[in-house]
Structure 1
Amino acid sequence: PISGWCNKHATRDFSTSEKVTRGRVYQQEELEPTTPAKDTDIMIDRIKKSTRELEQGPTGKNLSSAEKREFLINTLLGLEDSKEVVYGTLDAWVAFEQDFPLAPLRQALSALEKEEQWHRIVQVIKWMLSKGQGNTMGTYEQLVHALEKDNRAEEAHEIWQRKIAHDLRSVPWRFCHLMLAIYYRNNRLERLVKLFKELESCGRKPPYKDIVRKVEDAYEMLGLLEEKNVLLEKYKDLYNKPSRGDRKKGSKSKRTEMNKTGADGGKMETSENLQVHCCPLDEEIRCHH
């Protein structure tokens, strides 16, 4: 009976219909299909334990949303390194939800990032995408970042090529810079130069010199000195501007000085002393079958 229950809920479909964003159609495409849980005693016991605790809690009472979220985070941190175990536990966790719990999952991913659990982050995101959920630019940026941290830069490149590179005009520069930096750190200099030229061909201009410096170094290490000189001449104005780090330091120092006291001499509540709990906005990405 429990085996049948698991199979029934493991295949529950949370996928959404086609979405239209900015006048374009976005289609769902599974990154990797969910691997069904094996019908073994250990998996059945794990799913039974997970679902029982999720539904009733350790004390036999219904769990609140916060308690469910905390249980999920603790469970993910303690699971063995098995794709089937992770996928099976997540399937059991969402079985009680009417709507796919994207917000709690994103909070769980943030908690995993703090613990630098990069391999587990990759597993959770791939499971989420296999359900047709979280198909956003932010999700793929987080996945690519985690893959590199998990020493899987080549897989990060493959996902970039399959899911992102076909529409470079709509990719935020932050994500583009992340990919350029991955190529730079992993000595894939030809790929770095190729991506930068593709961005230029789309009419994209680098917003800060950190990007140009990576391309400059790549040209130099590849022995392309003429291309390097052309690059420096083309973006010489960027070198006269402060870097992002310098701007942040200057802006923070200025805000701190201005906000030390209010008009009445009292301390003002500013962004420097407010706790903010938010996530960056995601942009939908276009996926083709």
Structure 2
Amino acid sequence: MGEQSLSISRVVEKKPVKKVGKNEHHWWKKRDSAGSGQKTLNLVRIISQLPNEKEIVYGALDKWVVWETEFPLIAAAKALRILRKRSQWLRVIQVAKWMLSKGQGATMGTYDTLLLAFDMDNRVDEAGSLWNMILHTHTRSISKQLFSRMISLFDHHDMQDKVIEVFADMEELRV
């Protein structure tokens, strides 16, 4: 019986588990974002050289994305950030609207960037339309930052009655 218990204990003995460290590479993850920087710069270069006609810009954006198996959302978001830093508000509007028309990038960050671009390009009516769409579509998930963006937009254009409406919406939605 003594010999049997020894053999059983040897069988039950646990081997050390080798943990996967940082050296393991997941190539499929790397590939997705590896080219986004180059795609971003390519998009910014293409879009910056175009005339301000919506059809031409949307056509160029469609050509930029045509061979992609998945929408290059990371590259497009980075391009929006670069265009925003360069204060190219019309291009920000064009790229963001194009993304949204493709059903991509409908995030609070994109909405915030688009509202800022509308503000800086003096397109208050379009900002108001987008804001109403956001209010009716995302009633439970509108951030304080987005409310703040709208308050500053309306204040920037001396529309105090609209500022009060935004505060009323915030109160109604308990933000």
Q: CA deviation at 1:89?
A: 0.7
Residue 52 of structure 1: aligned partner:
none
Q: Which residue is 2:120 aligned to?
A: 149
**Is 1:183 paired with 2:166?**
no
State the Cα distance separating 1:68 from its structure 2 match: 3.4
- Match for 2:61: what amino acid? L
Distance 1:71 1:115 in 2: 16
CA contact (8 A) 1:72 1:108 kept: yes
Q: Higher Cα Rg: structure 1 or 2?
A: 2
- Residue 181 of structure 1 aligns to a residue whose secondary structure is helix
Higher relative contact order (CA 8 A, sep 6+): 1
Alpha-carbon distance in 2 for matches of 1:134, 1:198: 24
CA displacement at 1:115 relative to structure 2 = 1.2
| Conservation of the 8 A alpha-carbon contact between 1:168 and 1:199 | no
Q: How far off its partner does 1:171 sit?
A: 1.1
Match of 1:160 among 114, 124, 131: 131
Distance 1:66 1:199, change over 3 A: closer
**Counterpart residue number, 1:114:** 85
- Using the TM superposition, give the Cα deviation of residue 176 of structure 1 relative to its aligned residue in structure 2, in angstroms: 0.4
Identity %: 38
1:86 counterpart = 2:57: yes
Query: Using a 3 Å threshold, how does the CA distance of structure 1 residues 136 and 67 change in structure 2: closer, same or farther?
Result: closer
2:143 aligned residue: 172
1:95 counterpart (66, 86, 107):
66
SS at match of 1:91: helix
- C-alpha displacement at 1:72, in angstroms? 1.5
**1:167 CA drift (Å):** 4.6
> Aligned residues, how many?
141
- TM-score by structure 2 length? 0.74
Tell me the distance in 2 between the aligned counterparts of 1:190 and 1:162.
19
User: By how many angstroms is 1:166 displaced?
Assistant: 5.6
Name the aligned partner's letter for residue 98 of structure 2: W
Q: Partners in 1 of 2:36 and 2:125 — Cα distance?
A: 37
Q: Confirm or deny that 1:193 pairs with 2:157.
A: no
Q: Which runs of 5+ in 1 are unaligned?
A: 1-63, 205-289
Label 1:66 to 1:202 Cα distance change in 2 as closer, same or farther (>3 A).
closer
Which residue identity is paired with 1:193?
I
Matched, 1:74 2:45: yes
Secondary structure of 1:97's aligned partner:
coil
Structure 1 moving runs of 4+ over 3 Å: 64-68, 165-169
Check if 1:135 corresponds to 2:67.
no
For residues 70 and 202 of structure 1, do their structure 2 counterparts lie closer, same or farther at Cα, with a shift above 3 Å needed?
closer
SS at match of 1:170: coil
The gaps in structure 2 that reach 5 residues or longer are 1-34
**1:76 CA drift (Å):** 1.1
